[in-house]
């Protein structure tokens, strides 16, 4: 297949639309089911690069959940603790611990469930039945992977009344070193970002504390590779083998950090007894439950727990969580890693990151206020590495 006709481009008025290979070469994909659209393919090709690179860098299988050309999360294959299984709504999945690929997707999908609603999925390895079983019950637009077991393919083909988008990619495909795009009729050309992210990138530690444990190296690598395929400006919080908060596409870096930090905070709070024990109505749809948790943890919690509405979600009225209770829980969190796709221009990013348990930081460096940023890290006993490499993505 040298080209594939699309229903339309980014919007229904943008016709005709297609994907194709210049020079008449074969597309590196096979469409096994459905009819993916323009944005689906943008998500598919970006997310595939992310999980392939993440798997290569860590030696583990990897999964990503994408929406509108940015990851909501990415994760490597690690078994989930019981609290995280419950928070990700996968504690009832048979055989979960036997499939590290399923664990990777459970983590990625469960990180920011509000943003992952209707996601595009990427898997670094062959999709198995357990992974497909998780995907089957989630609202998702499609999936890209290098292969599917017969049982997994059968399950996935039954999604969305038989039109779920399933794409198989050639894992050995390597694109040309130069890439082009057009904007307003003008063609842009650049070399592909083939920069490899690994432990060597974290050797230039600029803080007084120079102790960077192996788990932090892994999580910083996950953070930086996630950022490589996230719309800039962006920062990424990571912990326990997964991205836990992605602040994507903000013009101000502190807004990136605040956004990602709030997502990371919610990821931690969702594993707390305060949330795990919420008395949800048994038949409440998954999306409604996700939204209820999100609102319950916000300043607008009365929208789901107030006198006039709580019966729509709960069997009994939950109490209001105070700011002090949430901060007391979050203050115990340590060991979180933070990556940034460009330098931190002010120390406020470090101050905000510390409130979300960040102990390890990786960023390019190069700001005129590097000294201020380093000083904020030193005052909190953080470890920070300068990578010297910007990771903008547009």
Give pLDDT tens digits for 330-380.
999 999 999 999 999 999 999 999 999 999 999 999 999 999 999 999 999
CATH of domain 3-174: 3.40.140.20
In the set 33, 46, 52, 67, the catalytic residue is 67
Q: Is the per-residue pLDDT at 24 higher than 90?
A: no
Rounded Cα distance between 65 and 117, Å, is: 9
Would you state the pLDDT for residue 194? Answer: 95
Residue range 303-309: mean pLDDT, rounded? 95
For the chain, the structural domain boundaries read 3-174, 193-269+330-386, 282-317
How much of the chain exceeds pLDDT 90, in percent?
98
CATH of 193-269+330-386, one of 3.30.465.10, 1.10.1030.10, 3.40.50.150, 3.40.140.20: 3.40.140.20
In the set 33, 40, 165, 233, the catalytic residue is 233
**Catalytic site residue 209?**
no
Rounded Cα distance between 120 and 122, Å, is: 7
User: From the CB of residue 194, how many other CB atoms can be counted at a distance below 10 Å?
Assistant: 9
**Catalytic site residue 67?**
yes
Rounded Cα distance between 394 and 371, Å, is: 29
139-180, pLDDT tens digit by residue? 999 999 999 999 999 999 999 999 999 999 999 999 999 999
Would you state the pLDDT for residue 172? Answer: 96
Would you state the pLDDT for residue 317? Answer: 97
Rounded Cα distance between 147 and 358, Å, is: 37
Would you state the pLDDT for residue 23? Answer: 83
Residue range 58-84: mean pLDDT, rounded? 97
**Catalytic site residue 394?**
yes
Q: Is the per-residue pLDDT at 266 higher than 90?
A: yes
Work out the pLDDT band at 252, boundaries 50, 70, 90.
Answer: very high
One fold for both 3-174 and 193-269+330-386?
Answer: yes
All residues at 6 or more sequence positions from 218 whose CB lies less than 8 Å from its CB, including other chains:
58, 76, 241
> Does the pTM exceed 0.75?
yes
Work out the pLDDT band at 242, boundaries 50, 70, 90.
Answer: very high
Q: Is the per-residue pLDDT at 22 higher than 90?
A: no
Cis peptide before 383 (omega within 30 of 0): no
Q: Is the per-residue pLDDT at 125 higher than 90?
A: yes
**Catalytic site residue 35?**
no
Mean pLDDT of the chain: 97
Q: Is the per-residue pLDDT at 64 higher than 90?
A: yes
All residues at 6 or more sequence positions from 119 whose CB lies less than 8 Å from its CB, including other chains:
65, 66, 67, 72, 109, 138, 140, 141
In the set 68, 136, 160, 393, the catalytic residue is 68
């Amino acid at each position: 297949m040298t080209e594939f006709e699309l229903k339309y481009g980014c919007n229904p008025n943008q016709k005709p639309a297609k994907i194709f290979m210049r020079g008449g070469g074969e597309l590196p994909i096979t469409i096994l089911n459905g009819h993916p659209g323009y944005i689906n393919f943008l998500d598919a090709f970006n997310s595939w690069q992310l999980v392939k690179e993440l798997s290569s860098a860590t030696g583990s299988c990897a999964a990503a959940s994408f929406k509108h050309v940015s990851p909501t999360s990415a994760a490597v294959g690690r078994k989930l603790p019981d609290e995280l299984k419950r928070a990700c709504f996968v504690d009832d999945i048979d055989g979960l611990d036997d499939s590290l690929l399923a664990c990777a997707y459970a983590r990625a999908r469960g990180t920011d469930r509000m943003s992952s609603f209707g996601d595009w999925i990427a898997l670094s390895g062959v999709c198995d039945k357990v992974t497909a079983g998780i995907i089957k019950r989630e609202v998702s637009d499609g999936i890209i992977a290098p292969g599917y077991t017969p049982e997994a393919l059968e399950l996935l083909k039954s999604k969305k009344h038989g039109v779920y988008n399933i794409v198989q990619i050639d894992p050995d495909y390597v694109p040309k070193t130069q890439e082009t795009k057009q904007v307003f009729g003008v063609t842009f050309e650049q070399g592909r970002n083939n920069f490899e992210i690994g432990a060597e990138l974290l050797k230039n530690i600029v803080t007084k504390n120079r102790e960077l444990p192996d788990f932090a190296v892994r999580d910083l690598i996950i953070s930086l590779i996630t950022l490589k395929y996230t719309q800039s400006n962006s920062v990424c919080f990571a912990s326990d083998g997964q991205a836990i908060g992605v602040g994507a596409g903000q013009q101000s870096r502190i807004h990136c950090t605040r956004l990602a930090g709030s997502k990371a905070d919610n990821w931690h709070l969702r594993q707390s007894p305060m949330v795990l024990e919420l008395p949800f109505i048994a038949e409440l749809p998954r999306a409604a439950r996700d939204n209820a948790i999100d609102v319950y943890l916000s300043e607008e919690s009365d929208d789901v727990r107030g006198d006039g509405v709580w019966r729509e979600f709960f069997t009994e009225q939950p109490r209001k969580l105070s700011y002090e209770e949430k901060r007391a829980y979050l203050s115990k969190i340590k060991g979180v890693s933070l990556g940034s796709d460009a330098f931190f221009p002010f120390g406020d990013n470090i101050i905000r990151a510390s409130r979300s348990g960040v102990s390890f930081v990786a960023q390019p460096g190069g700001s005129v206020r590097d000294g201020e940023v380093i000083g904020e890290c030193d005052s909190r006993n953080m470890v920070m590495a300068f990578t010297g490499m910007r990771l903008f993505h547009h």
